[in-house]
Amino acid sequence: MNSNGDAGDGTGGTVEWAVVGSDIGPLLLAATGAGLVSVVFHACPAVRDRAVGQLRARLGAEPVETPGSARLTEPIRQLAEYFAGSLREFSLLLDWSLTSGFNRQVLRELAAGVPYGAVVGYGDLARRVGQPGAAQAVGTAMGSNPLPVVVPCHRVVESDGGLGGFGGGLETKRQLLALEGVLPQPLF
């Protein structure tokens, strides 16, 4: 199963979260009984507190910090392998309950149809979901992606070769694309 697989749409009762280190800085990972529900970049204390509050409000459950959570073991392992360069496709159960409608459709297509080391334009992705005039809406969907890295919004670029935007910052997008061999690694 690839990262498009899911166990349903719902919180599964509780939300467990932990902050883990990565090559792009600390990431907050949150999971429900249905699967990984959120990945948050730059998880310093202020970002972490805001993200936990948003999870509480949007999922209607009290997030619990559980660094040793069995729900997070596999996402943590697979992300470590991804950053080590030995994992090219995530095989995690995903809880899609933080996204819906067009945004969910676009994110699922991205997860299923844009492999490691490839990029796609905003307009191309809009065409893939049957909405050829919706490039700007695709950009909005990328900006609201609750599962960045795992659902690889960093692989969506401008048709003229520009990087486009990125919720984790353009330097983070450059690092992820360099890791996947799309851009050259920095010299220093």
Task: Say what angle helices 101-113 and 135-143 make with each other, to 10 degrees.
Answer: 90
DSSP E strands, the chain: 15-20, 27-32, 35-40, 63-65, 120-121, 156-157
44 given a catalytic annotation: no
Kindly name the residue from 79, 149, 153, 179 that is annotated as catalytic: 153
Looking from the CA of 12 toward its CB, the CA atoms found within 13 Å total 21
Burial of 45 (0-12, 13-18, 19+ CB in 10 A): exposed
Q: Is 144 exposed, middle or buried (0-12, 13-18, 19+ CB in 10 A)?
A: middle
Written as six digits, the tokens of 34 are 């249905």
Which residues are known to be catalytic?
A: 153
